[in-house]
Structure 1
Amino acid sequence: MFTALNKDGSIVCALDFKEKKELQAEKRNSIFYCPACRSVVVLKNGEKRLPHFAHRKDVSCSGSSEQESSYHLHGKLQIYNGLKDLGLNPVLEPYFPSIKQRGDIGVMWDNSYYVIEFQCSSIPVSCLQKRTKQYRKEKYQPIWILGYKNVKRSKSFSRFSAFQSSFLVPFKGKYILPAYCPYQKSFYIMDNPIPISKEKFITSINKLPLAAVTLREQTINLSSNFPYSDWQSAIQKQKNNHIHYHSNENDRFLRYLYKSGLHPHVIPPFIGIPLKEGIKLLTPPLIWQAYLYIDCFLPARKIVSLHKVYDAFLSRIKRGDITVRNLPNIIDSNWRNTVNDYLTVLVKMKVIEEIRPDFFTSSEEACLSSDSLAKHEEDFYLRLKGGSLQ
């Protein structure tokens, strides 16, 4: 951390000790205390690291969420200086006594107080969730930014752990995951991540240099070209290989498929489709969509109400067949939005029909022969590319 209390109780910033001799003198002659836990902290400096205060190794401070690396210190300082360059008056490491919490940066803008947290090391999602609730209770707006070094990416796919996916936030009708890299002095915006498994997402990345950020409404070129071919290939691998791997989730799902008269290799293409609201479920889309469709729309021409669909889905959640993803930064993270999103696409693709408001009937048999499946799948994805995610 950059700030601490001196023996008089005044805030001292380590960055104010510009001369090396001055800093060394302060280290020898002064005692500093953590504003949160009031324990003694040590003034540190080095050839590569910025001057900063640190707790002793045997001290645990509830007001801080991570041990600060050089990566974290540089990123926090860069964002702080970027806000100053915009003409704002940010506060470095504000401490909030009412919740016994210290943020990275606090800033007042447009009649709201924002607390910016630049998180570079993994912490329990429950901790992130608790701090988010505390800030909101005090009427502060939390902004969580992930350290970009945590992002693992290969081609169209990114891997987000439960910790990383908890940084997802709504933005202009989509969802994004904001990250920052102090080495490149740039924000990286993961655009509209669509989960294909618990941790694997299809997403695009937009780079936004810190120097390009303004107070005007920021233009972020969110991608509109979803890689359907990559998705289709990954789903096919799941059908042919991945769901045959031994696990409680897979074994339970396969037993249900066989009991319903379906084989995993010929699951129809409208089961396992990409959905914007799919982030709200931890269970892979191939599995939860199969449960929903088979539970509610087989046999063909069966009439079912939206209320019954919700009831069937909730029963699956209670039994542990479907798991909801923990998303502390998305206030409206109700799984019903995901169900509605799926039903909307099924109606649009003429898989089911809404015969009157909130009442549906299936218009297509789920069982397809392996001979006709390949052509049916290609035709389906050609129609799906019409814009179901937009």
Structure 2
Amino acid sequence: MSEPLFLHASGAEVGKVAPLCVPGSLGAIYTVPGGRARDERAGQIVREHREQGVLGSSFLLDAARYGGAGRVGADAALTPQWLAQQWDRGLEWAMTDSGYVDRDRVDQLDALFDSAVAMRKQAPVGAKFFLQVPADSQWVSKRADEVRERVDRYQIPVAYMFGSSGDPLETRASVQGLLHLLGSPVPSALVRADHAALGALAGGAVLGAMGTSSGRRHIYTSAGRGRRVPGLFSVLLPEGLSFHRSDTLARAIGSSPEQSYWRCHHCSRCEGARLDDIVDPTAAFIHSIESLQDLAAGVLASGEASTAMASWKAKCRSAQFIHTDIAVNLKWDYPKSLKAWTTGS
């Protein structure tokens, strides 16, 4: 896969995501509903993406057994048929249907890797897959060494995603743990993430996937996300590396309309217009996705790992200053993880 940035979307969103995917720039990961209809729906998603997307754009399928009411633990066996169906449908890379690694459950972590080794032995020659590692945030903030040891030992490409009632990557320890994981020579990805997907790319991830909604920007382990308010939608503030509800953003712009950070120069839809010019969800979606692509391209422009991380940290510092400035005039929430990225090594 040549795309660094991916969108982690619902399978129901293929119609609006696929046309935005560009070979070499943007790919997609689609979650597939579970149950008896899973395999049929997976086939539909594959067909729809190929019919509506740009020829050659990469996409992956996510069985999402790690979340929701039907969540299973990581000690549940991986399904060889799920991998085989993805390869049979022409996907270059498949993803395992992993369950969730709970806090302190070393037995689940070991069972997951043991099952992945068995999958590798059964796979056709040359077939490629990512082992999903959906895990409690403890495994990145406090026990990353244990995860990394298994990745290095078994040499199986991994796609990390982390669970928490809040942001699993908002502390310095969790960011340092993530960078340690990504430092493995084994291909590693961060999926189902927020702006941390860009930081992961700067840290050496082979791909970073940002969720198309708050519910797909990490694994929620409790009722930690707010309910959607009808008529409102989220808009990316590119200079702040943050999403905000449209009404909240409009109030903030009204308090200091002269500030340059309210204007977007990252997408073809805005072309320098102020963000309160975005008045519907479709425009907000296109703005957000194109802006993320531009931000990712800027971070990775040099092709050098050290320069990419320096660029990412500079963007995080700038975003912190902007949020601090906005908060002078009104109550303002913003990602606390920005500080974690600037202080992490």
TM-score normalized with structure 1 length: 0.24
Structure ID, larger Rg: 1
Structure with a larger share of its residues in strand: 1
Q: Which has the higher contact order (CA 8 A, sep 6+)?
A: 2
TM-score by length of 2: 0.27
